[in-house]
Amino acid sequence: MADTKYIFVTGGVSSSLGKGIIAASLAKLLQARGFRATIQKLDPYINVDPGTLNPYEHGECYVTEDGAETDLDLGHYERFLNVNTSQANNVTTGRIYQSVIEKERRGEFLGKTVQVVPHITNEIKERIQILGKNGDYDIVITEIGGTVGDIESLPYIEAVRQLKWELGDDNALVIHLTLVPYLSAAGELKTKPTQHSVKTLMESGIKADILVCRTEHELSDDIRRKLAIFCNVRQEAVIQSIDARTIYDVPNMMLKEGLDTVTMKKLDLPTDSTPNLDRWNQFLKRHKNPKAEVHIGLIGKYVELQDSYKSILESFIHAGAENEVSVKVEYIHSEFINDSTIHNKISHLDGVLVAPGFGERGIEGKIDAVRYARENNLPFLGICLGMQMAVIEFARNVLKLKGANSSEMDPDTKHPVIDLMADQKEVTHKGGTMRLGAWDCELSKKSVIHDAYGKDMISERHRHRYEYNNKYKEQLENAGMLSTGINPETKLVEVIELADHPWFVGVQYHPEYKSTVASPHPLFVSFVKAALEYSEKRQSAKMAQK
């Protein structure tokens, strides 16, 4: 008998049904019952990782503590479980093939013909079991990306079939997430797409143990019975996943449907415990019953796709709940900010966040937004590129360094206040070669950043090539831009603040990657609190004028 139990989550009928949220919700329920659970994502695309993908293609690239550039679903896993993921939690087809080809080149297959079966499938099975064999987890949930029937997913489905057979019925199960659409013309829910999806899965040799049905309307007992009969599952294993007000409602919805109970029964796990969701539900109560409202402008160039800034948006939800505030995020495309539009776009806001990104498109709009926030004492948070834009704006408009820029945007600038790291200048491959993962940062006492964290030393995740140029540090500090966070190893500036501004912070790292339901990120909590104070002062001033 295997020591670790394995759960595989597949999807059918349509993409974007929420496999990641279902996987995270089930893991949360199992964790709340005392089991040590983790989740991994198998992505069928041939990129080695999402690091070189445009955010419009695949949403944000999420970075783990150990510096892995991964799928955004890993962000959901961490936010729900409050447990760090790693390189082992995200595997792509590109990484699988890269590994197998490297083994073949080293002669590890002893002259055998290298094939999808068994070599690719064996590599997939090995990657699936890495987390289970280290002794840290009782249950490993593996989400298979894509939709059943896709050519790209077939090796993964075959690997799951083999592994399920090898592990035995009590040690592995398959949850199939599918769509039960509502046809308004007929006025009824239709089960046929789900039946076909399950049939496609069975053609690959896999029988679904549990069906999770995404739907806009309640599933009747008749529909559940019909799905059970035609899809060869027990009726109690037909789980309804109806549209939710927030993703954070889903664990409670799955608890009510009995997803965790059915899972534990099928894996021969004890079911006598009761999940402890007290802290989770306290968060939900604060999230759903705010006492105030603030409006934050998110200045970026990928704002058409909200998933591009997924971790930032979720961090605002966590910080809002902590402050008992509803954070209304307004998406503002930086390309459309200029002298004639900036007042209308920003003047009504309670705070501005200039988002991370790469490339020169839209940076002048970001710089204009920074200047507005600086000159009008508007709470400001700049993340990664946003911090760099704050340095450039200050250098141009306060130090009067004409043409100050980042050498990323202007390689010939006379004042590269942001410059390429020395160890990056010889890099030719773009994937996985930035400053990535967790790095220490020492905070200055009596600073906004120190007040937010309440500690002298922090560790935060990075994803960038270009850095604050220390050659300009003395000039910038003398003019009022303080360096309040320094990496003790490299002496690079991680945090900047303005001496004469109530709340103006730029950070080179990505705080959004570490915000969870159980541990809202202190920097976002502090920023939202500052926005609330700004809003209250402005309202008081308006009342005084009446």
Instruction: State the Cα–Cα distance between residues 511 and 518, nearest whole angstrom.
Output: 15
Instruction: State the Cα–Cα distance between residues 318 and 64, nearest whole angstrom.
Output: 19
Coil vs helix vs strand at 188: strand
**Which tokens hold the place of 160?**
């799951």
10 Å CB burial of residue 139 (0-12, 13-18, 19+) is buried
Among all residues, which ones are annotated catalytic?
A: 384, 510, 512
User: What does the chain come to in residues?
Assistant: 546
Say how many Å lie between the first and final Cα of the chain, rounded: 75
Instruction: State the Cα–Cα distance between residues 96 and 43, nearest whole angstrom.
Output: 10
Count of helix runs (H) and strand runs (E) in the chain: 18, 23
Query: Could you tell me if 204 and 12 are in contact, meaning their C-beta atoms sit under 8 angstroms apart?
Result: no
Instruction: State the Cα–Cα distance between residues 279 and 294, nearest whole angstrom.
Output: 24
Task: Report which residue type is found at 93.
Answer: T
Instruction: State the Cα–Cα distance between residues 406 and 467, nearest whole angstrom.
Output: 9
Helix (H), strand (E), coil (C) string for 377-428: CCCEEEECHHHHHHHHHHHHHCCCCCCCEECCCCCCCCCEEEEECHHHCCCC
Query: Could you tell me if 77 and 84 are in contact, meaning their C-beta atoms sit under 8 angstroms apart?
Result: no
What sign for the dihedral angle of Cα 195, 197, 199, 202? negative
Task: Report which residue type is found at 361.
Answer: R
